Amino acid sequence: MPIFEYRCQDCGNKFEAILLGKQEPECPKCHTQNLQKELSTFAVSAKSSTSSAKGCGAENCCMGSGGCSLT
């Protein structure tokens, strides 16, 4: 499920929206569809290839004991 970031051209509100199918985004503050799509950024954990990565311990850890970016 993609998450998109938008800036409202009318009120300047910046927000994220999860869109399903053919949904059109709308500003949650002023309800206009006059939006500019923003560059989405995300955090990346860069670990050395020599480190011994372990799972984070969560029940549904994405990497199990093979390594998890949450640790």
Residue 68 belongs to some domain of the structure: no
Confirm whether pTM is higher than 0.95.
no
65 φ, ψ to 5°?
-85, 0
Using CA atoms, how far apart are residues 15 and 3, in angstroms rounded to an integer?
A: 10
Residue 17 belongs to some domain of the structure: yes
Yes or no: say if 47 and 35 are a contact pair by the CB < 8 Å rule.
no
Residue 59 belongs to some domain of the structure: no
Using CA atoms, how far apart are residues 19 and 63, in angstroms rounded to an integer?
A: 27
How many structural domains does the chain have?
1
Residue 24 belongs to some domain of the structure: yes
Q: How far apart are the first and last CA of the chain?
A: 24
In this predicted model, what pLDDT tens digit does every residue of 20-60 receive, in sequence order? 888 899 999 999 999 999 877 665 555 555 544 455 655 65
Q: Which domain holds residue 18?
A: 1-38
CB atoms within 10 A of CB 36: 10
